[in-house]
Chains A and B, each alone.
Chain A
Amino acid sequence: MSAALDIKPYVDVRDRGGSAQPMLIVRDLKRHFRVKGAGKGAVVRAVDGISFTLFKGETLGVVGESGCGKSTLARVLLHLVEPDSGELVFDGDAVAAPDGISVAELRRQVQMVFQDSYSSLNPRMPVQDSVAFGPMVNGRSKSESRRLAQEILIKVGLRPDLFGPRYPHELSGGQKQRVNIARALAMNPRMVILDEAVSALDKSVEAQVLNLLRELKRTLNLTYLFISHDLNVVRYISDRVLVMYLGQVVELGPASLVFSEARHPYTQALLGSRLSMDARQRVDAPPLVGDPPSPINPPSGCRFRTRCPNAEGVCEAKMPELGAWDGRDSHVAACHMQDPASGHSKAGLH
């Protein structure tokens, strides 16, 4: 185990499996949406066979272009959207299985922060009531819930006497997002899914909120699934990174490795698309050409081959497997070039 990923001992009465038991195991999760008017049986493969493991106390960053299924993945994990198939194991218990934990119990332990801080707060409700709502519907008394809400507002850096009684339209974007975080934390979750939680904020506020998230993670022993399209933000906050393309995982590994030695051509292109502050490093050629193909009829074989500079016959014929994954230091990519036996001419060069 590398020093960077060494997690301090985790103490939580709800911790059933111990620190070695991953917080969440996702196996071959699928969710397809039927589309009307695109031919019979046409489906959008929003989440198409995703598997990963989320360890306790870590932050797993999920990156990918718009429309690659990041948000659907988040909703499927919480069963806000029912998965078509696949398996979710939360702290050793299968979710929604007869001998596992119920979806309701999962939602008590996993919370979500949404991107749109405007539409994720009820405009007709003072924000302290929005924060207190979760505890209240879970059996706490009204006064207790409100007291809890005020405590949590302090934790996210909002004075409850000043901000608690306000309505969402009386708050700035950053303050609203703090309220959203407070709302998620009011449930005292063990894991928080942050779906583009800072994407709508401007840079200085984004930095404040990111620091707040780190601080809260440390003090409250949280595990984050951090979804974003912003690579710099993901690099800043994540321990490990998962790269998605058209509903599938193309690369998964420790953040430092993914950012320094990206293995999948898509990840390399994404990293190449970042703007550099250094004028000498400017590039004229776009790192990625074209739009992602339609998820309704994805390309055969490797889904990235239509935009990949290294595409060959084998990429069209066969879908590459995400390599053997063994533990949190493992760095894998779903690319034929990673597999010496695939027959790709550049295979094994890495």
Chain B
Amino acid sequence: MSDQAILSAPGAAAEYDSAPATKVRGYWQSVAYRLSHDWITLIFGAVVLVIILIAVFAPLLAPFDPYAQSIVGRLKPMGWRGHPLGTDELGRDMLSRLIYGGRISLIMGLAPVAIAVMIGGTLGVIGGFAGKVANTAIMRTMDVFYAFPSILLAVAISGAMGGGIFNGIISLSLVFIPAMCRVAETATSQVKNLDYIEAARASGAGTFAIIRHHVLGNVLGPVFIYASSLVSVSILLASGLSFLGLGVQPPEPDWGLMLSTLRQSIYVDPLGCAMPGIAIFITSICFNLVSDGVRAAMDVRI
């Protein structure tokens, strides 16, 4: 049927009145639909979910107290006296420590990224949309942070502020904010110059309404994709900080710290020594693959 025919069709208006409410599949719904057909992402997403659940319910799942030491039971192999994965250099149950360690590692992986998305993303959108002086001020400040390699920057900030989970999160956030800001700024300034922003301005919309309805939807995608890829980086960096003694302090169970303290026993118990590393590896690769899958699913654009 030609468009003209529809225009002049006698029942056009009535047809509209009697038509059922239109079902709109929004952007996020179509992303969810694509994801539901991507088995690899679903499987690794399930692993991520399991890791998260284990971390949340650690007190219920851990067979032993992760802090309980035993002088006689040090560096025992798997299965020794009911310890499924053996014990560490102070005789503490390895499985319990790995389970509890997941909590801190996940917090160290997610919290800095979330903070960076909020602060860096906001700064980036502001800088990208405002342009000119505000953009220069924000982006050149970010470039200062960019000048340092990320691990060096994290080590420097943690070193200056001292160890601990809280300071570790702050230092990692500061590492990620510039990158996040740049991603948001690039996406925003690309969108900003398109005609639909101009059309929105022409329809009398204020800056806030334009950002909320027309900019954020187009910026959130790249930001979210980048953020999901940063989670595994953050877990690795946090482990690195703990390994260097700048992040989590003993006797807290943390994968990076465990790796550090167990390394002296590498010739005595190589398998036990490798276990925290395996946990880091599995977690970060799962986050990475899920991030890749989400990236593919979100790339709906034409």
| A interface with B by C-beta (< 8 Å) | 75, 78, 80, 104, 107-108, 111-112, 114, 116, 119-126, 128, 130, 133-134, 137-138, 150-151, 154-155, 157-161, 164-165, 169, 178, 180, 183-184, 186-187, 208, 212
* Whole-angstrom distance between the Cβ of A272 and the nearest chain B Cβ: 33
Q: Give Cα A160 to B214, complex, Å.
A: 21
Q: Does B140 contact A (CB under 8 A)?
A: no
Q: Does B24 contact A (CB under 8 A)?
A: yes
Contacts A119-B196, A150-B16 given; does A159 touch B6 at CB 8 Å = yes
- A119 partner residues in chain B, CB cutoff 8 A: 194-196
Number of A-B contacts (CB under 8 A): 110
Residue in A closest to B205 when the chains form the complex, CB atoms = A137
- Contact partner, A130, options B13, B16, B196, B202, Cβ 8 Å: B196
15 extra interface residue pairs, beta carbon distance < 8 Å, beyond A133-B205, A133-B213, A157-B4: A104-B204, A122-B214, A123-B301, A124-B218, A134-B203, A137-B203, A138-B203, A150-B16, A154-B7, A154-B12, A158-B6, A159-B12, A183-B203, A184-B199, A186-B203
Interface size on B (CB < 8 Å)?
Answer: 36
Q: Give Cα A233 to B154, complex, Å.
A: 63
- Contact partner, B200, options A75, A78, A133, A208, Cβ 8 Å: A133
Q: Does B302 contact A (CB under 8 A)?
A: yes
A111 touches B203 (CB 8 A): yes
A157 touches B3 (CB 8 A): yes
What are 10 A-B pairs with beta-carbon distances under 8 A? A75-B198, A78-B202, A107-B202, A107-B204, A111-B203, A119-B196, A124-B218, A133-B200, A133-B203, A137-B205
* Whole-angstrom distance between the Cβ of B27 and the nearest chain A Cβ: 5
- Contact partner, A183, options B13, B15, B199, Cβ 8 Å: B199
Q: Does B25 contact A (CB under 8 A)?
A: yes
- A187 partner residues in chain B, CB cutoff 8 A: 203-204
B12 touches A114 (CB 8 A): no
Q: Give Cα A138 to B198, complex, Å.
A: 16
- A159 partner residues in chain B, CB cutoff 8 A: 6, 12, 15-16
Chain B residues touching A, majority SS:
helix
Contacts A114-B195, A130-B196, A161-B16 given; does A107 touch B203 at CB 8 Å = yes
Q: Which 8 A-B pairs have the closest CB atoms?
A: A134-B203, A120-B195, A157-B3, A169-B302, A137-B205, A124-B217, A165-B24, A157-B7
- B206 partner residues in chain A, CB cutoff 8 A: 137
- B202 partner residues in chain A, CB cutoff 8 A: 78, 80, 107, 111-112
- Contact partner, B19, options A104, A111, A128, A161, Cβ 8 Å: A161
- Contact partner, A137, options B4, B6, B27, B209, Cβ 8 Å: B209
Most buried by B among A122, A157, A169, A186: A122
Residue in B closest to A111 when the chains form the complex, CB atoms = B202
* Whole-angstrom distance between the Cβ of B55 and the nearest chain A Cβ: 34
Q: Chain B 16-39, CB within 8 Å of chain A: the 1/0 string?
A: 100110111111000000000000
* Whole-angstrom distance between the Cβ of A347 and the nearest chain B Cβ: 43
* Whole-angstrom distance between the Cβ of A228 and the nearest chain B Cβ: 17
A138 touches B3 (CB 8 A): no
